[in-house]
């Protein structure tokens, strides 16, 4: 089986990434609906779709809590207290997942062409690296501002992301050099 080109492993991976991308969009919409219904339940005591979203008040404190389940299952998707920090971080993480899988899908889709040295591949890999770099730089700041402490337990994940970004930039430079050589070759013929 070919790795790059039409009917190749990269094309099958791009289809799989497209499915995961669509799933992550649906999951984001599901969580937004859950938070919206939770706020409606707090304001109006409505129990619409209560089997998917649980909202309750801790009577020892003035805080409300939520628990979301994956649709049609008893598996917990997320649970926390309803406060700005938790809602914001959950939504930010889900938005990052949507963008991550979309950029991966587009990068693998552009590699699935017969000409792998093309501007599309460089463009999507560059966007993928920039997204990872932005998340890498912003997420510790969000933890500092929202929770007033640095997440030291996430340092290994940050180091992995730095290595991933460096690797992607090496691949981008390799693809740019290949694209330059390919255009030079086409000009001489």
pLDDT tens figures, 137-185: 887 877 777 667 777 777 887 888 888 888 888 888 888 888 888 777 7
Q: How many CB atoms lie within 10 A of CB 143?
A: 17
Q: Check if the beta carbon of residue 53 is closer than 8 Å to that of residue 21.
A: no
pTM: 0.76
Quote the CA–CA distance of 160 and 180 in Å, as a whole number. Answer: 30
In 3D, which of 149, 28, 41 has the Cα closest to residue 20? Answer: 28
47-56 tens-digit pLDDT: 666 666 777 6
Quote the CA–CA distance of 113 and 12 in Å, as a whole number. Answer: 12
19-31 tens-digit pLDDT: 999 999 998 998 8
CA distance readout (Å), 134 to 131, 138, 142: 5, 6, 12
Q: Within 13 A of 48's CA, how many CA atoms are on the CB side?
A: 13
């Amino acid at each position: 089986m070919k790795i790059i080109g039409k009917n190749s492993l990269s094309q099958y991976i791009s289809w799989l990434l497209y499915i995961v991308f669509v799933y992550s969009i649906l999951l984001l919409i599901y969580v937004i609906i859950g938070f919206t219904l939770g706020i409606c339940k707090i304001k109006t005591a409505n129990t619409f779709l209560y089997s998917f979203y649980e909202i309750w008040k801790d009577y020892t404190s003035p805080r409300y809590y939520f628990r979301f389940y994956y649709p049609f299952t008893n598996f917990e998707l997320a649970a926390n207290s309803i406060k700005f920090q938790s809602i914001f971080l959950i939504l930010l993480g889900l938005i990052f997942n949507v963008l991550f899988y979309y950029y991966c899908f587009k990068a693998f889709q552009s590699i699935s062409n017969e000409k792998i040295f093309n501007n599309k591949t460089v463009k999507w890999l560059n966007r993928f690296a920039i997204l990872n770099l932005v998340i890498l730089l912003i997420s510790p700041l969000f933890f500092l501002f929202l929770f007033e402490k640095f997440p030291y337990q996430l340092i290994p994940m940050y180091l992995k992301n730095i290595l991933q970004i460096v690797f992607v930039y090496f691949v981008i430079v390799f693809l740019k050099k290949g694209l330059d050589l390919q255009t030079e070759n086409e000009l001489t013929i």
